[in-house]
């Protein structure tokens, strides 16, 4: 039976990226919408005649929906998530979940007390190519030793009511994706340093980040910039088994396994390579990862309902990601 879900926020990101994937996921039934802006609320009502379209989120908290999807101004994400948990609802909340790691850890403790699932919409980890990376690492009992990510984003836009500069916005709104994915792959992060590059155009933010595991046996480098005309992601993962995994824009994955000597001069080798590419029948809307993160949220809610255990709560990981970003933004660029 589909889970009933109420949406708080009917803004641009929800309409263009989350809503199509939510409607396309048979695991959910959209049961109500809350939107405080009257013009946007009228648009929601016109698109969903007969569906409750409310002006106050409290009315959704008091309804009988199973879960709540929060896609509002980031400054309100923590308080709305807390209110939803206190109302006994599972929560899917868009990133970033604020900027304060301790506030997120408080939510983690609340989620455990209320036995509710909270999923955070840093959707890179759910993209099909990245899931295949996780699967490959597990099957081959391998870990990432060296990770190199290069990513370009579009321009960063200020948000009313969120008192952050352009660099902070770039980190919390965009660079959070590669930072979170690197944390996911490496586990705990010990040393962090970041070098901010001088901008060549108004509003451009560019940085080079280095992350090291506490033991010093694994490292990630992230080169990221805003203001590009292309959203481009490239990643190279060297593993503890000596294999190389390459990801191109979350669309293609190439794995080069232990090669065999070809017997020719010059140390040439045969490349034993496996390839995967997203096909034409991929059903995700906008960018890869949105459909999968919603399906993963449904899986966790159903597992929690069956066992009474909120499973592996994502909030501790989200708090660690925010800590890493805070250290990147430190005046010295290191911690």
CB 216 within 8 A of CB 190: yes
Dump strand ranges (E) for the chain: 3-8, 28-34, 53-54, 67-70, 90-94, 118-121, 144-152, 192-197, 206-212, 219-225, 232-239, 244-248, 252-261, 269-277
Closest CA to 315 of 86, 16, 92: 92
User: Which residues, in sequence order, are bridge partners of residue 269?
Assistant: 261
Q: Is the model's pLDDT at 61 over the cut of 80?
A: yes
DSSP code string of 28-91:
EEEEEEE-SSHHHHHHHHHHSTTS-EES-HHHHHTS--SEEEE-S-GGGHHHHHHHHHHTT-EE
Q: Is the model's pLDDT at 335 over the cut of 70?
A: no
pLDDT tens string 242-259: 999 999 999 999 999 877
pLDDT tens string 196-212: 998 788 779 999 999 99
Query: What pLDDT does residue 334 have?
Result: 41
Query: What pLDDT does residue 172 have?
Result: 95
User: Which residues, in sequence order, are bridge partners of residue 252?
Assistant: 248, 277
Do the strands 232-239 and 244-248 form a parallel or antiparallel pair, or are they unpaired? antiparallel
Q: Per-residue confidence at 260, pLDDT binned at 50, 70, 90?
A: low
pLDDT tens string 264-298: 666 666 778 899 998 888 888 888 999 999 999 99
Give the span between the Cα atoms of 124 and 310, in whole angstroms: 22
In this prediction, residues 76-85 reach a mean pLDDT of 97
CB 142 within 8 A of CB 241: yes
User: Considering all CA atoms of the chain, what is the largest pairwise distance in Å, rounded to the nearest integer?
Assistant: 74
- 243: its two tokens: 């294999």
CB 56 within 8 A of CB 63: no
What percent of the chain is predicted at pLDDT more than 90? 78
Query: What pLDDT does residue 271 have?
Result: 74
Domain covering 125-285+321-328 in this structure, CATH number: 3.30.360.10
Q: Is the model's pLDDT at 131 over the cut of 90?
A: yes
Q: Per-residue confidence at 333, pLDDT binned at 50, 70, 90?
A: very low
Domain covering 3-122+288-314 in this structure, CATH number: 3.40.50.720
pLDDT tens string 99-119: 999 999 999 999 999 999 999
Query: Between the CA of residue 329 and those of 228, 289, 323, 333, what are the distances in Å?
Result: 21, 27, 10, 6
What is the residue extent of each domain of the chain?
Answer: 3-122+288-314, 125-285+321-328
Between the CA atoms of 99, 295, 288 and 167, what dihedral angle is there, to the nearest 10 degrees? 0
């Amino acid at each position: 039976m589909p889970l009933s879900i109420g949406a708080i926020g009917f803004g641009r990101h929800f309409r263009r990226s989350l809503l199509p994937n939510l409607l396309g996921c048979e695991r959910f039934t959209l049961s109500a919408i809350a939107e405080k802006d009257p013009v946007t609320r009228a648009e929601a009502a016109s698109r969903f005649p007969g569906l409750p379209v409310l002006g106050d989120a409290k009315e959704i908290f008091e309804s009988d929906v199973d879960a709540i999807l929060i896609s509002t101004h980031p400054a309100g994400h923590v308080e709305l998530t807390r209110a939803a948990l206190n109302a006994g609802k599972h929560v899917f909340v868009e990133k970033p979940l604020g900027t304060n790691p301790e506030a997120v850890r408080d939510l983690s403790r609340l989620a455990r007390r209320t036995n509710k699932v909270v999923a955070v919409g840093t959707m890179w980890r759910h993209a099909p190519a990245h899931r295949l990376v996780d699967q490959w690492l597990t099957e081959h009992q391998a870990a990432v030793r060296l990770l190199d990510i290069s990513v370009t984003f579009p321009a960063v836009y200020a948000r009313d009511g969120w008192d952050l500069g352009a660099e902070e916005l770039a980190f919390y709104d965009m660079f959070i994706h590669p930072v979170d994915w690197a944390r996911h792959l490496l586990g705990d992060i010990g040393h962090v340093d970041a070098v901010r590059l001088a901008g060549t155009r108004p509003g451009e933010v560019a940085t080079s980040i280095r992350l090291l595991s506490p033991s010093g046996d694994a490292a990630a480098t992230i080169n990221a910039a805003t203001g590009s005309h292309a959203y481009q992601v490239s990643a190279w993962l060297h593993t503890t088994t000596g294999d190389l995994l390459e990801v191109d824009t979350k669309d293609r994955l190439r794995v080069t396994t232990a090669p065999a000597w070809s017997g020719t001069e010059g140390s040439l080798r045969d490349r034993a390579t496996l390839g995967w590419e997203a096909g034409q029948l991929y059903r995700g809307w906008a960018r890869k990862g949105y459909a999968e993160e919603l399906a993963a949220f449904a899986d966790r809610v159903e597992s929690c309902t069956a066992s009474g255990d909120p499973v592996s709560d994502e909030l501790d990981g989200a708090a660690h990601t925010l800590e890493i970003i805070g250290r990147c933004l430190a005046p010295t660029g290191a911690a």
